[in-house]
Amino acid sequence: MKKGLFVSVLMLSFMFLLAACGTSQETTSGEGSEAGETEEKKTLRVVTDAAYAPFEYQDKGEIIGFDVDFIEAVAEEAGYEIEIEHVGWDPLFVEIKDEIADFGISAITINDDRKQTYDFSVPYFLSTNKILVPEGSDIASAADLEGKVVAVQAGTTGQEAVEGIMGKNNKNMKQFENNNLAIMELTSGGADAVVADNTVVEEYVKNNPDQKLTVVEDADSFASEYYGLMFPKGSELKAEFDEAINKVLDSGKYAEIYNEWFGSDPDIENLKA
Ligand code: ARG
């Protein structure tokens, strides 16, 4: 053991010497063959909009959430280090398109529109839009949103769903840069409802009982959606991450993380359908 260490140190010193002399070729790659276990992992830049609890949000300056734990498990499986950065919702799309980021995770729904510009991983979460309203509201279905003031996060499937009901450019649809601002508009009396992903509004109601809000479901009006990792088109990472996601789903790791955040078991079969 000791001897091995000595030899390693010796080898390392020699490599530094070589590098210093300028005679070395590609001694910095790290992906190479030497020593085996200490193989350096590549760090990927992952972007998010960390204002969407419980998927991604900031807690004392740290980004946490289901998505964070999930992607850390997946990246580990795929053999990458990741650095998650909060850039906001609109910038996230720009950064991925321009390949400034390697991919995004942000409760992003896989849909045909986005597929024209981006590649998505296999699905990792099932979602649908629901309506957040004050207790006692007369909004009991999506159709009831007509004539009401509705707050949404701009550029989300929630906005799209509301447009489907109220029409495009409806002045009664208020758009916000992030979903927390949309909810604040509701709680401060500037809107009658918020439409956003079910898990987000359900968690909000649960965690803020004093605000006396409730969630309205309308499965006929709001489709089922699946979240995926969003890559630049043609990214070679997609295949590696698909494989890693499937491993995390099959190994029980996904269920463990899901349970930690939601206190119940996930329906994995539904995800893989
Ligand atoms: N799932 C919805 C969509 O993709 C909303 C996602 C919003 N995510 C966020 N981190 N703000 O449009």
What is the residue-level pLDDT of the chain in tens, covering all 273 positions?
A: 455 555 555 555 555 544 544 444 444 444 444 455 566 889 999 999 999 999 999 999 999 999 999 999 999 999 999 999 999 999 999 999 999 999 999 999 999 999 999 999 999 999 999 999 999 999 999 999 999 999 999 999 999 999 999 999 999 999 999 999 999 999 999 999 999 999 999 999 999 999 999 999 999 999 999 999 999 999 999 999 999 999 999 999 999 999 999 999 999 998 986
Q: Is 89 in the pocket of ligand 1 (CB under 6 A)?
A: yes
Radius of gyration of the chain (CA): 23
Atom of ligand 1 nearest to the CA of 227: 1
222 contacts 161 by C-beta, under 8 angstroms: yes
Q: String of b and e for 98-126 (b: at least 16 CB within 10 Å)?
A: eeebbbbbbbbbbeeebeeebbbbbbbbb
CA distance 194 to 145: 10
CA of 156 relative to ligand 1 center, distance in Å = 5
Report ipTM (2 d.p.).
Answer: 0.98
Q: How many helices (H) and strands (E) does the chain have?
A: 10, 14
Is the overall model pTM greater than 0.95, yes or no?
no
| Atom of ligand 1 minimally distant from the CA of 127 | 1
Dihedral, 130, 271, 48, 82 alpha carbons, nearest 10: 160
Substitution site in 84, 114, 153 for ligand 1 pocket (most atoms within 8 Å of beta carbon):
153
User: Is the Cβ–Cβ distance between 122 and 209 less than 8 Å?
Assistant: no
Residue 108 Cβ inside 6 Å of ligand 1? The answer reads: yes
